[in-house]
Structure 1
Amino acid sequence: MSNKVTVLGSLNVDTILRIPRLPQPGETLKMDDIGVAGGGKGANQAISAARSKSHVTFIGGVGNDVQGEMMLKLLKEDGININNVAKLNEGTGQAFILLQESGENSIVIYGGANQAIKTTVIQNAMNDIKDSDFLVAQFETPLEVTNEAFKLARELNVKTILNPAPATDILDELKKNIDLIIPNETEAELLTGIKVVDEDTCRQAADKLIDQGINNVIITLGKQGAYYKTKDGICELVPAFKVEAVDTTAAGDTFIGALVSKLDTSFSNLREAIIYASKASSLAVQRLGAIPSIPYKDDVEKQLNNK
């Protein structure tokens, strides 16, 4: 049975600058190529969930512009419900991605309409949230909107998943309403003060987050894999699938969307869901682009069966 997922998040038009490496301060560097595509953590995660056969509703905002129409079209193409995407006076969000030859990337974002949505969008989306198994959010929309959404989800017995990116301090009020948090190693360090480099430091960071009232933690570690720990003390580092990465832009977002599609609301199958999500992410990083690289469920399961 397919999960019902509501994603509260960002819709960005990505400008991808392909460069040999990051420039030094004061250095001018020639680009190898430039491209424009749809993206945003929210959009990527929603599309990843949809391609893994979840029924997805999106909550967010776009500008009343060409870029906004482009983003709405992309969501609709993957069967995502866009009834709760507000059209606002601010411009549609944008991201500028510096993609190095190594496949690693650095990203700068302009919030635009993503940062202009109000808590009223959450009340307007109440019925869709109520009908969901999971509510997923990041930090590319206003914190007060996320806080309101998670508070409502808890009242409605809908499980919540937070991807704390870009990393920022989390309100205590929000922490108590998070069922699962998924930071990467950098975000985990910023949230806990613990430099995450291996399984032991993952455990320390996860313990600190659980002590703050968060029930379940997954820390993604790129090539090393993903470490998870539950409030019941179950924990493990699940290794990543070894592949040659050409573009890591959508790796984390693909992981989250795939994970929420496989996850049981009891969180009893975390390990199984992480393995599925890791395979989806490993397929995404072997392809160029964010949304174009996100795999479909059949592709992921075929690769898992061929392991």
Structure 2
Amino acid sequence: MANKIAVLGSLNVDTTLSVQRMPAPGETLAVAGVKHAAGGKGGNQAIAAARSQANTLFIGQVGRDEAGQMMLKTMKDNNVDVSHINEDATVPTGSATILLDANGQNEILVFGGANQSITAESLNLKGIADLDFLITQFETPQAAALAAFTEAKAAGVRTILNPAPAHEILPELLPQTDLIVPNETESALLTGIEVTDLDSMKANAAAFKRMGIPNTIITVGSRGAFFATAAKTGFMPAYKVNAKDTTAAGDTFIGALASQLKRDFSNIEAATQYAQRASSITVQRYGALPSIPTRDEILNAEG
């Protein structure tokens, strides 16, 4: 039976600017190409889950504008339930400008817009008790995340926190989180322990456990991903591919992971491997949402 997942998060219209290299301070560079697409960490994660055949619901907000209508249509077209997305007439839909260099690396500037006007009171949490997992990130206010996670946990729903972009976490949010999934930079910022090797990854997981979060996955880019639960700890090497664009790789990982993960985390190794495979496909393609693979593509990928 497919997992039932909700993502509380951001919806942005992405503008990707292709450049040969990143500009130095004060420098003007020519842009080789411009592309527009639906995105936002929340949107990416939800579509990644849906394309891996999870029953996926989105909780969020767009502006009452053309960009917002585009985002709603994109989510519907990707089999994501949009009944819990609000429209805010006072602020525009969120947006992101992505600088993408010739090596596939990116720098991203985000305008929160309607994503940042979400409040605990504005959330539509109807039916949350029917979920297997609730996911959120930090492109929407933590106060809203706290309200949603608290209600979810009370109903026995598992909660997954992707602390990106990295911010100090509300102390009250920590014990409401079942699984935290940072990258190595975000993990180090939150724990104060630099991620360099397996021992340092274990130390980060122990630090999160002391904070009240029992399960950890740390993604380390082209190296792979570390996972730690009460029952199992390990490292899953990344698949070796020619990366063209790393945009949405982490979001693909989280959505794909949640689509496969069991509520008791007993299959965390297999789910991490599946998520790694999904991310390895994403980085070989350009764009955010267009690069996210389907379940069939993941299962049939070579390597």
Is TM more than 0.5 here? yes
Partner of 2:92: 91
1:295 maps to: 293
1:121 CA drift (Å): 3.4
Deviation at 1:198, TM superposition (A): 2.1
Q: Deviations over 1:151-201 (max 9, x none)?
A: 001111000000000111112211001000000011001101111122221
Once the 2 structures are TM-superposed, how far is the Cα of residue 299 of structure 1 from its aligned partner? 0.8
* Alignment map for 1:1-307 (pairs within 5 Å): 1-88=1-88, 89-122=90-123, 124-127=124-127, 129-232=128-231, 234-303=232-301, 306-307=302-303
**Secondary structure class of the residue paired with 1:196:** coil
Aligned residues of 1:17 and 1:34 also touching (Cα < 8 A):
yes
User: Residue 231 of structure 1 aligns to a residue in which SS?
Assistant: coil
User: SS in structure 2 opposite 1:62?
Assistant: strand
Matched residues in 1 for 2:211 and 2:120: separation?
Answer: 25
The aligned amino acid for 2:167 is T
* Cα deviation digits, residues 33-70 of structure 1 (max 9, x gap): 11111000000000000000000010000001000000
Q: For each residue in 1:5-26, what CA deviation from the matched residue of structure 2 results, as whole angstroms up to 9, or x when unmatched?
A: 0000000000101111111112
2:167 partner SS? coil
Q: How far off its partner does 1:114 sit?
A: 0.1
Deviates more, 1:195-204 or 1:40-49: 195-204
Cα distance between partner residues in 1 of 2:269 and 2:2: 18
Contact in 1 for aligned 2:59/2:85 (Cα 8 Å): yes
User: Distance between the aligned counterparts of 2:77 and 2:140, measured in 1?
Assistant: 23
Q: TM-score, normalised by structure 1?
A: 0.97
Q: Secondary structure at the match of 1:120?
A: coil
Residue 293 of structure 2 aligns with an amino acid whose one-letter code is P
> Helix, strand or coil for the counterpart of 1:219?
strand
Separation in structure 1 between the aligned mates of residue 236 and residue 258 of structure 2, nearest angstrom:
17
Structure 1 residue 126, shift from structure 2 partner? 2.8
How many angstroms apart in 2 are the aligned matches of 1:77 and 1:302?
A: 23
| TM-score, normalised with respect to structure 2 | 0.98
Distance across 2 between alignment mates of 1:199 and 1:104: 25
> Any conservation in 2 of the 1:210–1:231 contact (CA below 8 Å)?
no
CA distance in 1, matches of 2:234, 2:106: 28
Q: Distance in 2 between matches of 1:272 and 1:126?
A: 31
Q: Tell me, what secondary structure is at the counterpart of 2:108?
A: strand
Gaps of 5+ in 2: none
Once the 2 structures are TM-superposed, how far is the Cα of residue 78 of structure 1 from its aligned partner?
1.0
- Which one-letter code corresponds to 2:119 in the other structure? K
For residues 97 and 206 of structure 1, the distance between their equivalents in structure 2, rounded to whole angstroms, comes to 31
Q: Distance in 2 between matches of 1:280 and 1:287?
A: 12
d(CA) in 2 for partners of 1:131 and 1:241?
34
Q: Which moved more, 1:205-214 or 1:246-255?
A: 205-214
CA distance in 1, matches of 2:273, 2:107: 26
Deviation at 1:120, TM superposition (A): 2.4
C-alpha separation in 2, matches of 1:143 and 1:53: 28
One-letter amino acid of the counterpart of residue 110, structure 1:
F
CA distance in 2, matches of 1:61, 1:264: 29
Q: Which runs of 4+ in 1 moved over 3 A?
A: none
Shift of residue 115 of structure 1?
0.4
Q: Determine the C-alpha separation between the residues in 1 that align with 2:262 and 2:167.
A: 28
CA distance in 1, matches of 2:230, 2:138: 24
Q: Deviations over 1:233-284 (max 9, x none)?
A: x211110000000000010000000000000000000000000000000001
- 1:27 Cα offset (Å): 1.3
